[in-house]
Structure 1
């Protein structure tokens, strides 16, 4: 069973946001000033953290990072390479195992010994060799034993950490940072035993260890040390993502792992790919809003679009704490994460009906939500479909991609299907706008995709209607559609510049959106020029007639 699938059994509702930020404390991040210990808790390590960030310890959230100077929205608070990272099996032949740059079998160079990993060129291969020489031998040994599959990214990432700590030594700053990661080994739930046991046994086999005494060469004295090491990994694993937030593999970064959780975070962790490839994959912590001196840096460990009960359940099961952030303690009459739009289309929200209390009214106009049985059925079926899709992305990503790709030929066949896709994407963007902070990378990506859909050439543009009809028709057609696409992409670029960092120009996606904007501006210019020339031709024809 793969690491992703095992972890999915505990984190079935998690998105990119949840797997990208680990927990290092037992409590919520809501901290009173008097609970903070201003004294640094470590000396001589975490040198990659800038001086204006302080490691403090509080009685409620444990260790965390506080800023001593202002951080502006979209600012890169700090950036660091992971201590270790490994591509997922599905990405091994599509990305470089050193810099995680994308490619394919034709452009990437395969390791001739293990024949499992690929590199951009000899530069990346040579840079990775100090670790890959151990990995290469392990992969060859596994293959010689008759195994037909490569060990999971979790096992390979754990192996890389072990080999590097063996080289660095137990007293090095690098190793000390790994050992200071929070371990919940003594408190894990029974449901997590399978995951931890599987990883520990698989790691021992992967390292080629035949006796307990051999683990001492990695700076560990006993099996208990190994169990704690595995627990630290599980609790503090980040998912490496590409610029569009698709998962690439697993990584560990103790400096970033210091950041505590909030369901209403002021920062986010992304991989914008904005540096030379030898500095990649580079984790960047980006400010989602202005952060004042004395504030704690906070990211989200779980999908913050989920209702409170699901967020809390995921945090308790995976990270062993209950959240008491401002969002979780809010007394709002209607949580947009568990509501439906007003049946009278006033723009208000109605609480999602429940079995015990099906009556629901719009919080704005007080209209009663009708047909609540249908709403309850839709919620139930939708949740079942979401659970199935979430499980599928871990157990069979190729099938998940195949199902998603079925939309592409549909878009090319019918105007109605394209318009339906635009309407659906618009609803997704509207929902994310309600539940996520401005500039969140998920909002930026979603708005960029909507803009691209609006910019797709229409298979059969509609004939224009009356001005009144055109004013309310959505999506529009012709030039109005292109103008809306341009406006949407401009808004997307602004949000991407926040979520992926202003200095990064919104990352690779933001730079791609900029190119789309230039193309659309050119297309609209041609459109206007064509209409003007047609108007002049018509006038000339009238005169000559």
Structure 2
């Protein structure tokens, strides 16, 4: 009825690429008058204090031809506290679900494991969509480099300008034989595309000026952070045909100058800009498949309570573009804010990642609220154990042995020290399982199930429980989808996948803002699990039949009631997807509509069949 091939290789959308998880802000020091800042002007680290308003900003003036994809109702402004950002113009308002901008990234590349699984131009594959206009029948490798694949001759032609030099470089690497270092990572290949495009269009164009005006944090890096940048530089040079170890300094300098880098300083600033401003390349269903960079999208500032999301609703290339979608109504003068990381992470994890990757401390609305001793953060909470009570309770401090629920009045014992130890073990297991999910999915599944039982006191929205359930959902989907229908293990894996989906679905509501695309995608995933064919002899989840702890089991309906539940989820998903992806919800929204139509027909046939049986 519904295929899970599209879900088998799905990574969690929160996973970032080599250097950054989402688009990165480019804060710049405010000059006395609004002028274009010097490309290499260093700045000091800033604190992200929450959205700026036009009252404490100045209009950012830039060169002719730059940021041509910025719509007329938005403008770039500079704040003393936040640097550059994008704002709704005064006298203008924007409705939730509006596509604020559509941008073709300056460069993007698939990660190495995804080169065979996705079109290098549009990002789609044979499992991407049910919609006829977006269906892909097969992928064919480029006959030149034998590395990247395309879904059609149209996509290959569309990508040829960007792939021409890349094709030669990949072919040259393959010809090295035993000395071949392997396929360059997505960061190296994306940087190569930027360099070759600059060579083609010229270094004095608006296109390249946008790249030069992205924020470089090179002067703010500590010695430990310089080492991976140096390694990246060596890999890029080798990929571009420059081998400093085998060439004289003069020859190396000449080749770099030909590519637009008159000094090592220019090259390292370029690499730093990429590190700071690159973000996750995702498919229309939020599967992370590589890395992308867009100077315009990189101007959007961060908040852990975003009012917009960066998505690729219909892919890239000839099929679509990067889009920034308003998650709620935006008022006149309001700043556009996206999140650079997964907002389901607790404050400490978010602060650590933002400091390490982007060198700022976040003091947004959510980060500030989480310091309030009277507020219970659903990302770090325990649940009331009373049946029927859905209250979340504050995470107990070390030494606590008893907790009282203020909602139902029930008290229960808890070992706070032991719980913290289990949270640490769960976090470690999550990281290990994440690295094993493709190479050894059975072991990854075992690791997560083994720590799950000790995390049952946590609220479903708490970290790392929610992330563990998300990964387990995918691992169970992978397990059941490769088994024949007759295999009894298939039903067990399917039921466990559906149970995890239900738990994730419930947990997401507490940590993701309304309209967030992740919630819509999860609704469709759960609906597909309920629609998947299950044997008549399948048993309801129980401690005897499930891998999951007893108090995590969810009673899911069977038969036509199961299909009706799936239909309700698809209806909810359609609403969420129109907010999170804009218009008709992107390809995921189109698929949800097609699935709903087929499901309504199946339910009608089922009901008619039961009616005929009663008449007889």
TM-score range, shorter chain: 0.7 to 0.9
2:75 alignment counterpart: 54
Q: Which residue of 2 aligns with 1:437?
A: 513
Q: Which moved more, 1:374-383 or 1:429-438?
A: 374-383
* 2:280–2:288 contact (8 Å) kept in structure 1: yes
Structure 1 residue 516 and structure 2 residue 595: aligned? Answer: yes
CA 229–392 in structure 1, closer or farther in 2 if over 3 Å, else same:
farther
2: distance between equivalents of 1:409 and 1:396? 14
Q: CA RMSD in A?
A: 3.0
On the 8 A contact 1:351/1:361 being kept in 2, the answer is no
- Residues 484 and 119 (structure 1 numbering): CA distance in 2 closer, same or farther, change over 3 Å? closer
Give 2:456's aligned residue: none
Alignment-derived partner of residue 299 in structure 1: 338
Offset of residue 135 of structure 1: 1.4
In structure 1, the residue matched to 2:386 is: 344
TM-score of the pair, normalised by structure 1: 0.87
Alpha carbons 1:108, 1:120 under 8 Å: kept:
yes
Cα deviation digits, residues 159-179 of structure 1 (max 9, x gap):
110111122222210001000
Which deviations, in whole Å up to 9, do the C-alpha atoms of 1:87-135 show, x marking residues without a partner? Answer: 2212222333233332599933433332222233443333333332221
> 2:201 aligns to what?
168
CA distance in 2, matches of 1:214, 1:327: 48
- Given the superposition, is the C-alpha separation of residues 473 and 198 from structure 1 closer, same or farther in structure 2, using an over 3 Å criterion? closer
Which of 73, 80, 97 is equivalent to 2:103?
80
Change beyond 3 A, Cα 1:183–1:393:
farther
1:439–1:498 CA contact under 8 A, matched in 2: yes
Q: Which residue in 1 is equivalent to 2:355?
A: 316
Residue 24 of structure 2 is aligned to residue 22 of structure 1: yes
Q: Which residue of 2 aligns with 1:468?
A: none
Superposed displacement of residue 396, structure 1? 8.4
CA contact (8 A) 2:53 2:335 kept: no
Corresponding residue for residue 543 of structure 1: none
Tell me what 1:198 maps to. Answer: 231
Cα deviation digits, residues 326-370 of structure 1 (max 9, x gap): 111112521000012211141110122343545544353343342
Gaps of 5+ in 2: 1-11, 28-45, 128-135, 445-473, 541-552
- Residue by residue over 1:503-538, the C-alpha shift from the partner in whole angstroms, topping out at 9 and shown as x without a partner, is 2x111121111122112211211121122112211x
- Partner Cα distance (1:281, 1:490) in 2: 25
Q: Distance in 2 between matches of 1:463 and 1:230?
A: 55
CA distance in 2, matches of 1:21, 1:532: 55
1:38 — aligned with what? 58
SS class of match (2:218): coil
Q: 1:200 Cα shift?
A: 0.6
Please give the secondary structure, in 2, of the residue aligned with 1:296. Answer: coil
Residues 402 and 490 (structure 1 numbering): CA distance in 2 closer, same or farther, change over 3 Å?
A: closer
Aligned residues of 2:302 and 2:338 also touching (Cα < 8 A) = yes
Residues 411, 417 of structure 1: 8 Å contact kept: no
Sort the Cα spacing of 1:397 and 1:19 in 2 relative to 1 into closer, same or farther, 3 A: farther
Distance 1:531 1:161 in 2: 62
Report deviation, 1:462: 8.1
How is 1:202-217 mapped onto 2 (pairs within 5 angstroms)?
A: 202-209=235-242, 210=247, 211-217=252-258
Normalising by structure 2, report the TM-score.
0.77
Greater share of helix = 1
